[in-house]
């Protein structure tokens, strides 16, 4: 099903794992405290926007 190399890469991204594990409890905490998911959506949109800016500013690797 998976090659050993691709499985190692897929399971070796700690940033992705952290967001996947911490995201739902944080979203629930925001909803419990403010009664809306608006803060969660704004934070998610903001982090996506910042990530897009960082990606466009990163120089390309020349082979």
CA pair distance 22, 27, nearest whole angstrom: 9
Q: Is residue 53 part of a domain?
A: yes
Q: How confident is the model at residue 46 (pLDDT cuts 50, 70, 90)?
A: very high
Structural domains in the chain (count): 1
Give the distance from CA 36 to its chain's centroid. 21
Residue 35 zone, left/alpha/beta (φ > 0; ψ -120 to 50; rest): left
Q: Is residue 16 part of a domain?
A: no
Domain that holds residue 41: 25-63
Q: Is residue 8 part of a domain?
A: no
Q: Is residue 59 part of a domain?
A: yes
Percent of the chain with pLDDT over 70: 78
Q: Is residue 12 part of a domain?
A: no
Q: Torsion angle of alpha carbons 38, 42, 48, 52, nearest 10°?
A: 150
pLDDT at position 50 over 80? yes
CA pair distance 10, 3, nearest whole angstrom: 10
Q: How confident is the model at residue 52 (pLDDT cuts 50, 70, 90)?
A: very high
Q: Is residue 11 part of a domain?
A: no
């Amino acid at each position: 099903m998976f090659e050993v190399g691709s499985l190692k890469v897929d399971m070796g991204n700690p940033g992705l794992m952290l967001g996947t594990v911490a995201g739902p409890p944080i979203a629930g905490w925001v909803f419990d405290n403010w009664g809306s998911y608006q803060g969660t959506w704004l934070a998610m949109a903001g982090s996506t926007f910042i990530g897009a800016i960082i990606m466009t500013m990163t120089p390309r690797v020349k082979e």
